[in-house]
Chains A and B, each alone.
Chain A
Amino acid sequence: MKKRKSFLAFTLMAALAVTGCNFNSGESSSQSPEPNNNGGTTTEQPSSGKKVLQVFNTDEIPSLDSAHVHETVSFTVLNNTMDGLYRRDQNGQPYLAIAEKHDVSADNLVHTFTIRENAKWSDGSPVTAKDFEFSWKKVFKEAGHYSFMFETLAVKNAVAIEKGEKQPDELGVKALDDRTLEVTLENPNPLLNQLLSFPTFYPQKQEFVESKGDKYGLEYDNMLYNGPFMLTDWKHDQGWTYTKNPNYWDAGKVKLDQIDGYVVKDAPARLTLFEAGQLDRIELDSSYVDQFKDDPRFHIIETPTIYFIRFNHEHPVLKNKNIRKAISMAWDKKGLTDVILNDGSSPLNGLVPKRFATDASGKDFREFNGDLQQGSLEDAKKLWEQGLKESGVTEVKLGVNAADTDRSKKIGEYLKNQLEKNLPGLTLELKNVPSNQRLEIEKAITYDLSLGTWGPDYADPMTYIDMWVTGGSANRMKYSNPKYDELVQQAKLNTDLESRFKQMVELEKILIEEDVAIAPMYQEGLAILQKEYVKDFVYLPTAPTNNYLWVDIVK
């Protein structure tokens, strides 16, 4: 037997040899769990009295180079390890961070920032104005994903540089000296402070970046940090460790000693790890909501991500406003959010979600226009018949362009069921395709109806409103209303926040009620399980959402 076994062993060894060189590295990485070596036990919290938060991440960090980052995981890590000129507080309001002073010229175009004297990088060197100038221009020099944020910020020459008419060095940002940064705008921007807290506007220390070459931001020690935490370990696709940054200018605020972040892509596995005490906070799949909804660790967050239906405004029947309105009104949104989704999502009857923006007195944006596109089923049927008559048809078949995710399929089936029952003569054909293709179809406007979603870039209603200007890159349905375009332009330049707010309320009314440009569906909810000893975990409505700066562990 022994001799014959050796044949088998040989097969296996050969198999091993094929992957040999890599296998070794895999083994060593699996067997060297430092620095958070748990010594082969499965117990969770290190017992040294250190305050450690354990969180999950949905994916590996693609890059920590602020000029290139473009998705949630990187944004989250940068937000907690870096600091910009401004930072957002627990309520999402911007406060001066790396800058200690912000002077504005009379015409609101030239902004001069004084860098805090005690603002330091994690290697102890001072953060300078040059670090900002360098990193901002780098976004254009290296064609970073988020260069459009400079257009949103209205930095001088950003658009011209993007078009290739000007050089990245002509961007309206200049370090006057080590501690003075001058930012010049194309036009006044009421959102400037808030936008400046966004990761694309973080600084980078030129000498350090250049010394790391094209490896900058790809390992934890190929990075300098100037924020509350710094990465002290990063095992690819596996997890990373944050440690309190002693050089942070505002280090007194930081209560945690360490954050262990693990990549856990499977939702049920997150729940298992939460129950096993290896994660302190998870997002819950809607299928578990009923099981946990009375649990003291259970929380619902209303996120500002909106789901809506795009109409093809050039479709022979859909160009009729009554038809569009009937489609929007003839189904039960509450049934979708409470029964089908059951994850804290709530019906949306406007463009701007609730609990997202308020006027100066604190009144929610949603309350100004109330529920739009509302009416009884009878009203919807009347509009539908009238619309069909006006279009000269008795029945219509519409394709629904949607992603092939479980969620989109569920929504599509629900819509089909409801609308075909309530609107006689309507047939919906569900076309679930991969997300990329859904987007391509939307861009080409070759759909009839398209299930869309939008999360805000910044905490202001304008992030939803300016999507729909003529030719806007998020429009994707050839909706065009010159009056709307003009009012958007006015509101964007309006530095009087009160009248600007009124303009935006008016704009929403035009878009949703007067033009029935889109049919809002719902506002996304997020079910959370969080250990009771975790305090002050700040989840902000706009990216980056997870803020660990204020978190405390009280056991």
Chain B
Amino acid sequence: MGAYLLRRLGYMLVTLLVIATATFFLMKMLPGTPFNNDRLNDQQLANMNAKYGLDQPVAIQYLKYMSNLVQGDLGDSYKYVGRSVTEVISERIGPSALIGFQALIVGTLVGLALGVTSALRHNSLLDYTSVTLAVLGMSIPSFIFAALLQYYVGLKWGLLPPALWKGYEYTILPTLALSVTVIATVARFIRTEMLDVINQDYVMTAQAKGLNQRKVIIRHVLRNALIPVVTMLGPLAVNIMTGTLVIEKIFSVPGLGEQFSLSVIVNDYSVIMGITLFYSFLFIFMVFIVDILYGLLDPRINLRGGSQKG
């Protein structure tokens, strides 16, 4: 297990290095500079490029960036003059993670309930209703739900604040809007997987053995059905907790979601790199966690046998 972990760690570092390199050079192909003010004259642009080291060859800039990165320095933002990238990310990840985490919990619980009920009452009215809901949740973009929640719950009925970020109650509407996708995804997955597992021989065996239905469902069906769900939930968790552009914008949540697209638009090189690496790290780490979880959910998956995979 220890050797396996070490090897995985090595892979993670290499992956990050590749991502950093690819992003750096792709980013340099973006048109323009971080100083995209149409009022700047050539002399001034040259002075500013010189000050921030952007006048040097890209290869040199790359080496400098990487050597800083290895020392844990993500550099300073160009847009937020003087503010470090670490600061920009850490100030904004909190709200994103809070909403994402809540949406994940609400979404998984509701999704699980819907999925399980619908699998157990296969082809019943309940099943059809839940499938229809799931399909709607998947296909209607979350900003529609966001806008509806904001207008009705927030403005018309005045039950919850429609936008801004001043206290806990301000997190509820964005959480609900965000959880819709999670509910739909989880419900659909669970339903399909459970229907699949329910017809397996070992489930029949368990039932034949005279185990009560409850035990069969929980110990045999659900446990096996959970594996694909966990696979999907890992990346989904990263996605949802690092912020979503649209929901955050609609509810004025001071999160990370919009920051990334904004930094690309204004060529804020260091922030582009910082957020990309941050996302990548979380993603890789989550895949790693999911792999570990497989072992816990299904003892047949043997982590020591990792060498066969790779």
Contact = CB atoms under 8 A, between A and B. Distances in A.
A binds B: yes
Interface of A: 1, 4, 7-8, 10-12, 14-16, 18-19, 21-31, 33, 36-38, 40, 42, 60, 62-63, 65, 68, 70, 142-143, 145, 147-148, 162-164, 214-218, 235-239, 262-266, 268-269, 272-273, 275-276, 278, 433-437, 439-440, 457, 473-474
Contacts of B58: none
A30 B165 contact: yes
B168 A31 contact: yes
A440 to B, nearest CB: 5
Interface of B: 30-32, 35-44, 47-48, 50-51, 79-83, 89-98, 101, 104-105, 108, 112, 147, 150-151, 154-155, 158, 160-171, 218, 222-223, 226, 230, 233-234, 237-238, 241-242, 249-252, 254-255, 258-259, 265-267, 282, 285-286, 289, 293, 296-297
B163 A272 contact: yes
Nearest to B237: A15
A457 B39 contact: yes
B38 A276 contact: no
Contacts of B282: 18-19
Given A12-B104, A63-B82, A263-B254, A269 B43 contact: no
B230 to A, nearest CB: 6
A439 B108 CA distance: 46
A480 B276 CA distance: 45
Q: Which 7 A-B pairs have the closest CB atoms?
A: A26-B94, A436-B32, A237-B254, A437-B31, A473-B41, A238-B254, A15-B237
Contacts, number: 221
A12 B106 CA distance: 11
B155 A265 contact: no
B31 A434 contact: yes
Nearest to B281: A18
Contact of B165 (A163, A238, A275): A238
A436 B223 CA distance: 52
A493 B163 CA distance: 52
B81 A65 contact: yes
Contacts of A437: 31-32
Nearest to B266: A436
Contacts of B259: 237
A264 B248 CA distance: 10
Residue of A36, A216, A275 with highest tally of chain B CB at under 10 A: A275
Given A33-B166, A264-B252, A269-B250, A1 B218 contact: yes
Contacts of A65: 81-82
Given A10-B293, A30-B171, A436 B36 contact: yes
Given A30-B95, A217-B82, A4 B90 contact: no
Given A63-B82, A147-B44, A26 B233 contact: no
Contacts of B43: 162-163
Given A40-B169, A436-B31, A22 B37 contact: no
Contacts of B234: 11, 15
A172 to B, nearest CB: 18
A145 B38 contact: no
